[in-house]
Structure formats: structure tokens, C-alpha cells
């Protein structure tokens, strides 16, 4: 990143090649549309390029990058949401999604994640899919490590309940 800041084009290409797959996975799990994920990735790299001077050498790169990616995703969500309210409805258009009976009995990971609240989904994606540490996730989401742990724990509990697995009962009963 420091070489990229100094204008090294090879370093910029190496950074893009190295981190684009992880960032694309991050966006893909938030969007069912691959083209939308591609657009978000491109927008993220444009913002990184414009904001590269704000990176502090010696600091971890991933939290800085994911913070930018998170803001790009939020901005796109806001734009899409406002576009939905402004578009006229077209009658007679039906969804072509496959019925639940045609799918296998294995739950779809993306479907499970979509059932989580946004803040919990984001933490799970950063921790488990993108491989960030608790500290890096906390920096990227502008929250504390304790808050990240709490969101992750609640997300795990929700996922267990969605999968029909019993959750641990942590209450100690008096004898």
C-alpha cells in the first residue's frame, strides 16, 4: 500500500489482484446480483484510489480497505432504495425464483446470511468469509471489539436456530 501511495503502478496492480477476490466475495454475499457486486468492487477501487493519501503507513491495510468497501455498499444501498421508490411498477412481472421444493435439503449459506440483521451479517462476512481479525473488523465497522464479539455471538445463535440446532443453555441451575 505504501508503494501504491508513492505512485508505483506495479504495487497498485498487485494490491488489486490480491484483494479483489475477497472484496468481491464480500459484495456478492450482500447482493444476489453479480453485476451489482462487480459495480461495487469497481466503485471501491475508485474510492481507494482517490483516498489512498489517507492511508497511514504502518497501519493494517485490511480494516482501512473494508471501511471504504462498507461505505460504498451502504451508499449503493441508499441509492438503490431511493431508486425503488421512484420506479413505476410494471404489472404482470413474476419472479422466476426456484421453489423451495426444487432445491436440495442443504440450506443456502447466502439465504441464511440474508436472514441476519445487517450489522450481524456484516460482522460474520468480515470475520469468517474475509478472514479479518476481531480488531480489524472493529476498525472497519467503527465499533469496539466487544461489540463485534456480541454481534458475532448473536449471529451464531441465530444461525444455529435457523439450522434447527439446539443452542447452548448457559444458565446454571441451582441444585
pLDDT in tens, 27-44: 888 777 888 899 999 999
Under the banding of pLDDT at 50, 70 and 90, the label for residue 112 is confident
Compute the half-sphere exposure of residue 54: CA atoms within 13 Å on the CB side of its CA: 10
Burial grade of 95 (CB within 10 A; 0-12, 13-18, 19 or more): exposed
Under the banding of pLDDT at 50, 70 and 90, the label for residue 172 is very low
The 8-class DSSP code of residue 52 comes to G
Extents of the domains making up the chain: 1-87, 108-167
Region 11-25 average pLDDT: 93
Under the banding of pLDDT at 50, 70 and 90, the label for residue 81 is low
Does residue 146 or residue 164 have the better pLDDT? 146
Q: Is the pLDDT of residue 111 over 80?
A: yes
Residue 129 neighbours by CB under 8 Å, 6+ apart: 22, 25, 26, 29
Give the C-alpha separation, 16 to 54, whole Å: 18
Average pLDDT along the chain: 81
Burial grade of 103 (CB within 10 A; 0-12, 13-18, 19 or more): exposed
Cβ atoms < 10 Å from Cβ of 71: 14
Q: Which helix (H) or strand (E) holds 49?
A: helix 34-51
> What's the pLDDT tens digit per position in 37-77?
999 999 999 999 999 999 999 999 999 999 999 999 888 87
At residue 164, the pLDDT reads 82
φ, ψ for residue 114, nearest 5 deg: -65, -20
Cβ atoms < 10 Å from Cβ of 160: 13
Fold held by 108-167? Arc Repressor Mutant, subunit A (1.10.10)
At residue 57, the pLDDT reads 92
When the candidates are 1.10.10.10, 1.10.1740.10, 1.10.3720.10, 3.30.413.10, the CATH number that belongs to 1-87 is 1.10.1740.10
Chain centre distance of CA 37: 11
pTM here? 0.55
Amino acid at each position: 500500500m505504501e508503494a501504491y501511495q508513492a505512485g508505483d503502478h506495479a504495487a497498485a496492480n498487485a494490491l488489486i489482484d490480491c484483494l479483489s477476490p475477497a472484496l468481491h466475495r464480500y459484495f456478492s454475499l450482500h447482493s444476489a446480483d453479480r453485476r451489482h457486486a462487480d459495480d461495487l468492487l469497481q466503485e471501491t477501487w475508485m474510492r481507494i484510489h482517490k483516498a489512498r493519501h489517507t492511508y497511514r503507513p504502518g497501519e493494517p491495510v485490511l480494516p482501512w480497505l473494508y471501511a471504504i468497501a462498507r461505505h460504498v455498499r451502504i451508499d449503493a444501498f441508499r441509492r438503490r432504495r431511493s431508486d425503488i421508490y421512484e420506479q413505476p411498477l410494471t404489472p404482470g412481472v413474476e419472479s422466476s425464483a426456484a421453489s423451495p421444493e426444487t432445491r436440495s435439503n442443504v440450506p443456502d449459506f447466502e439465504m441464511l446470511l440474508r436472514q441476519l440483521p445487517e450489522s450481524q451479517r456484516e460482522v460474520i462476512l468480515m470475520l469468517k468469509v474475509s478472514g479479518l481479525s476481531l480488531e480489524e473488523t472493529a476498525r472497519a465497522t467503527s465499533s469496539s471489539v466487544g461489540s463485534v464479539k456480541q454481534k458475532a455471538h448473536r449471529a451464531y445463535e441465530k444461525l444455529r436456530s435457523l439450522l434447527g440446532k439446539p443452542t447452548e443453555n448457559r444458565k446454571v441451575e441451582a441444585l
